[in-house]
Structure 1
Amino acid sequence: MPLEIGFLAAYGIAPTVLHEAVANARAIGVPVDVHLLKSGIVDEVTFYRALAMELGLPFTAAPRPSRLSRYPDSILAGIAPLEGFEGFVVAPSGPAVSQFLRHRHIAPRGLVVTAPTRLRHAVMRIWQRRVAELGANALPNARPELSIRDGLGTGHIVGLALLSLVLSYGAVRAPAMTIAALGTGLSPLFFAAVVLRLATVLLGHPPEPRRSIRREDDAALPIYTVIVPLYRERRIATRLVTALSRLDYPSAKLDIKFVLEADDQETPAALAAIAMPGFIEVIVAPAGNPRTKPRALNIALPLARGRYVVIYDAEDVPEPGQLRQAARAFATAPPDVACLQARLTIDNTDDTWLTRLFTIEYAILFDVFNPGLAEIGSPIALGGTSNHFRIDILRRVHGWDAWNVTEDADLGIRLARWGYRVHDLPSSTLEEAPATLRTWMNQRTRWMKGFMQTCISHSRAPRAVLSELGPWQCLGAAILTYGTVLSALVFPIFTGLFLLTWRDEAGLATIVSGSNLLRAWSGTLFAMGLAAIFLPALMALKRRRLWRLLPWTALLPIYYLLVSVAAWRAIWEVMHVPFHWNKTSHGLAKTSRSGLLQKHHARAADTTSLNTAAP
């Protein structure tokens, strides 16, 4: 029996259990002690307390490392100097365990054993200011021109002031001419956006991969990190743990990190009532600003042990084989492919009319638009979840911008600027859509605010952007950022004016010279715009086999009108509360296309009732 676990037989662990663990660990290709702990066969504190007794060393559940420790190095290495120069506290893992046991008789004095989780808590407590600083400012400190932290630059302020002055003057002196000039000036960008959306319809991308793909051996799989930021997610905790436990991936090679906020009391209480798998660890982010999801992600990133990392939201239910599929795709992809974007799909489709339209929108975005962009090599504004990264590249680009409230869109553009690509991953993740207009509006306002922040961040040095991206990718980035924002802002205005001018022969367009040409151009753009709304929707419904939602596509113009309202609200927030995060509540779904939501809700309800009934 391997030295690193053989001693456990003397501390109450059955030899048959240990022999079985050895066989499983060898099949997976991991150290047997890691397999024991990640699989939950042995509790972490039990293992390290027994190890300390076997080594003849003291054990502590409350280590007190000194400030000579390092973050995150002391945590990753499993060793830190003790306070008062009294020795070292150690939490060995893998080969280090057998090394300690092999040389137990010559071990230096002053060693104290603890569990890795206890060591991590202690080191993070000492370095909480540094942890908070790295989480918030790693990117802006290294590349301030790529972060929104410092807000608008002088060039932005001067440009916006001049634009406002010109538009205000024109609106008073020549309103018709001003609107016509504005529409003409923006029309090339809108035309390019429409052409791009229509082009993606022509590219074939089914939402499910071929089922004949060979299954990789467990021993060939790398360690995979999963980061899940959580804040006040009491209702969803049980379902989340269940969904992640269903992942078809060796538990010993899973490195799942829940990141909680320091002032969140309900989520830790909910997690404490769940039998947590050994491959899930809970990290509490120290208090600090901004209070955003990307800050929480940045805090977990230095502690990640995987070769790849994926981000999931609290309500996500990924396909069980998604990590295997991503690992296989990375292994065969060129090294400049930094990210794989899985496909998000709404599960609570039938809750309300809004969730039905949200389902159509997500099907358009993740089953038609993004796969098409990936195929033609355009930058992609990532989804906020189910994006898989090569962790070395993610660290190289300094993670996420903690000050951008739509960090996914910003990161997608930044990866392209650094010369990396994003590929589509044809694997689905179920999500819960907001069912009420108020919740939806708050979420969409945050998204639009983040897109505006992304526009600001990546327009500080236009020449640099053009040089890094090249003309075609630069156009794609402009469509994804400025096109998204401007089209949302002017959609109701220009649509209304177009209908007005075509209804009235002596309308607004006839005031402008060359009005016939203008009317022809505006009519063409309007028709193509309608096609860009409905044709991707039809293709998306076909690929998702959701033809029953076909009648609801007639409401898409109204849905995009609501997006416009959110965009105008976002302008106010950019000026007054730029870094405020509108939290979206989860666990409120009433329906489920897959049936998974009801099952998990029922299971959570049963757990709650049992906990309530317990003496």
Structure 2
Amino acid sequence: MEFNRLGLTPIVIFNLIIWLFFTLAYFYQIVYVVRVLFRGTVTLPKAKKQHRYAFFISAHNEELVIGNLVRSILAQDYPRELMDVFVVCDACTDSTHEEAEKAGAIVWDRNDLARRGKSWALDYGFDRILNEYGDKYEAFVVLDADNLVSKDFISVMNQAFDAGYLVCTGYRNSKNFDSSWVSAAYALWFMREAKFLNNARMMVGTSCAISGSGWMVSERIVRGMHGWDFHTLTEDIQFSTFCCANNVQIGYAPAEFFDEQPVTFKASWTQRMRWTKGFYQVFFSYARDLAKGISKGRFASYDMLMTVAPGMILTLLSFFVNATYLIVGSLSHGFIATQGEL
């Protein structure tokens, strides 16, 4: 009775619990935003050495864009002899091989139709580079075929690597911000991810997360893992979670590269569904490891758990509970729900 007098009916209490959970769980991201607004962009120390890098690109029928990416990599303000570009043509049926080779890349063909995809191409490419080139390269930089890199991309990334970060993510900008409202929304999302998540994480000394492309991994990490063993639908977030679970800190470098975003809602829906399924795969595989990290006082483990946690399930549950209450309450003519509640 006291609860009713305060207006705390069952549906109000349910909604308060949901609100309280999300607010407490993600309040730290508001702290991130405030930190960035006052501190701006992280400043990396000047590199003492220019390291040697292998750029890796997995491509499937990308003849229209692959040459542009390879040329943008080789045109950077970094010594040409310290970087090579490797392209794995993954079951290509067009002229991707010829276009990549013409632009200056080392090109390999891979035609394993049973295990096609970026994660399998990474495993193949890393293994072959390590076997054929030994320890020539100190780190790998992974890009997608439709990317472009800024002139100073690897110079900025080199600062983070020289500072001791064995894994590092860059600043993801968009090639087609104004193509549609969908591409604009994606561009804003990734700018927010770079500036107000990874940039903030770097400032407070916690671990970042790699996302899609534009990231770097040390040769020592890949060799230690004996290749690339991340084959969920979101191998990038799986690797980030693996690093977090094993206390490998991922850094952030404001090394700018440009990515092409989906233009139609249908394409976005398909991609987001794949990402959602991949996040669930990662959550159920690594939740226990992240919980252990939290118990040891690692904030990065909590941050990553909140990143992969199935919050959408709770959101949908809340929506359906409220919708059901609204419909049934309306039909009950005040028996189940009062007009004030409705």
User: Paired residue for 2:272, among 444, 448, 451?
Assistant: 444
1:356-382 alpha-carbon deviations (Å, 9 max, x no partner): 111211111111122222333444332
Is residue 74 of structure 2 the alignment partner of residue 245 of structure 1?
yes
Aligned CA distance change for structure 1 residues 287 and 500 (closer, same or farther; 3 Å) = closer
Q: Which residue of 2 aligns with 1:320?
A: 151
Structure 2 runs not aligned, ≥5 long = 1-8, 131-135
Could you tell me whether the CA contact under 8 Å between 2:54 and 2:140 is conserved in 1? Answer: yes
After superposition, residues 189-588 of structure 1 pair within 5 angstroms as 189-204=21-36, 206=40, 220-261=49-90, 263-268=91-96, 270-271=98-99, 275-277=102-104, 280-287=105-112, 289-302=114-127, 303-304=129-130, 305-333=136-164, 337-459=165-287, 464-466=292-294, 470=297, 472-482=299-309, 485-486=310-311, 488-491=312-315, 494=318
Deviation at 1:424, TM superposition (A): 1.3
User: C-alpha distance in 2, partners of 1:375/1:214?
Assistant: 17
DSSP 3-state at the match of 2:65? helix
DSSP 3-state at the match of 1:348? coil
Using structure 2 for the length normalisation, give the TM-score.
Answer: 0.79
Aligned CA distance change for structure 1 residues 439 and 269 (closer, same or farther; 3 Å) = same
Could you tell me whether the CA contact under 8 Å between 1:346 and 1:433 is conserved in 2? Answer: yes
User: C-alpha distance in 1, partners of 2:248/2:11?
Assistant: 41
Q: Kindly indicate which of the two structures has a greater share of residues assigned to helix.
A: 1
The amino acid of 1:308's aligned partner reads: A
Percentage of identical aligned residues:
18
Could you tell me whether the CA contact under 8 Å between 2:59 and 2:96 is conserved in 1? Answer: no
Structure 1 runs not aligned, ≥5 long = 1-175, 513-518, 520-615
Aligned CA distance change for structure 1 residues 238 and 425 (closer, same or farther; 3 Å) = same
- How many aligned residue pairs are there? 320
Deviation at 1:505, TM superposition (A): 11
Deviation at 1:398, TM superposition (A): 4.8
Aligned CA distance change for structure 1 residues 373 and 417 (closer, same or farther; 3 Å) = same
Deviation at 1:455, TM superposition (A): 0.6
Q: Which residue of 1 aligns with 2:6?
A: none
User: C-alpha distance in 2, partners of 1:496/1:288?
Assistant: 41
User: C-alpha distance in 2, partners of 1:441/1:245?
Assistant: 35
Using structure 1 for the length normalisation, give the TM-score.
Answer: 0.46
Could you tell me whether the CA contact under 8 Å between 1:294 and 1:407 is conserved in 2? Answer: yes
User: C-alpha distance in 2, partners of 1:380/1:208?
Assistant: 13
The amino acid of 1:404's aligned partner reads: T
Deviation at 1:489, TM superposition (A): 3.4
User: C-alpha distance in 1, partners of 2:183/2:159?
Assistant: 33
Could you tell me whether the CA contact under 8 Å between 2:119 and 2:228 is conserved in 1? Answer: yes
Q: Which residue of 2 aligns with 1:28?
A: none
User: C-alpha distance in 1, partners of 2:318/2:276?
Assistant: 19
Could you tell me whether the CA contact under 8 Å between 2:69 and 2:148 is conserved in 1? Answer: yes
1:68-121 alpha-carbon deviations (Å, 9 max, x no partner): xxxxxxxxxxxxxxxxxxxxxxxxxxxxxxxxxxxxxxxxxxxxxxxxxxxxxx
Could you tell me whether the CA contact under 8 Å between 2:47 and 2:159 is conserved in 1? Answer: no
Deviation at 1:490, TM superposition (A): 3.9
Deviation at 1:399, TM superposition (A): 4.9
DSSP 3-state at the match of 1:312? strand
1:266-296 alpha-carbon deviations (Å, 9 max, x no partner): 1445527x6332xx21122351543221111
DSSP 3-state at the match of 2:76? coil
1:289-333 alpha-carbon deviations (Å, 9 max, x no partner): 432211111111131531121111111111121212222222233
1:154-182 alpha-carbon deviations (Å, 9 max, x no partner): xxxxxxxxxxxxxxxxxxxxxx9799769
User: C-alpha distance in 1, partners of 2:42/2:302?
Assistant: 30
The amino acid of 1:237's aligned partner reads: I
User: C-alpha distance in 2, partners of 1:401/1:373?
Assistant: 26
Deviation at 1:412, TM superposition (A): 0.9
1:337-390 alpha-carbon deviations (Å, 9 max, x no partner): 321211101121111111111121111111112222233344433211111122
Could you tell me whether the CA contact under 8 Å between 2:57 and 2:145 is conserved in 1? Answer: yes
Aligned CA distance change for structure 1 residues 495 and 201 (closer, same or farther; 3 Å) = farther
Could you tell me whether the CA contact under 8 Å between 1:230 and 1:260 is conserved in 2? Answer: yes
Deviation at 1:447, TM superposition (A): 1.4
Q: Kindly indicate which of the two structures has a greater share of residues assigned to strand.
A: 2
The amino acid of 1:320's aligned partner reads: K
Aligned CA distance change for structure 1 residues 178 and 450 (closer, same or farther; 3 Å) = farther
User: C-alpha distance in 1, partners of 2:287/2:42?
Assistant: 37
DSSP 3-state at the match of 2:240? helix
DSSP 3-state at the match of 1:425? strand
**RMSD, matched Cα:** 3.7
Which of structures 1 and 2 has the larger relative contact order (alpha carbons within 8 angstroms, sep 6+)?
A: 2
User: C-alpha distance in 2, partners of 1:240/1:491?
Assistant: 39
DSSP 3-state at the match of 1:315? coil
User: C-alpha distance in 1, partners of 2:80/2:171?
Assistant: 24
Aligned CA distance change for structure 1 residues 182 and 415 (closer, same or farther; 3 Å) = farther
Deviation at 1:501, TM superposition (A): 7.9
Could you tell me whether the CA contact under 8 Å between 1:318 and 1:429 is conserved in 2? Answer: yes
Deviation at 1:457, TM superposition (A): 1.4
User: C-alpha distance in 1, partners of 2:298/2:12?
Assistant: 28
The amino acid of 1:364's aligned partner reads: R
Deviation at 1:237, TM superposition (A): 2.2
Aligned CA distance change for structure 1 residues 301 and 179 (closer, same or farther; 3 Å) = farther
User: C-alpha distance in 2, partners of 1:437/1:284?
Assistant: 33
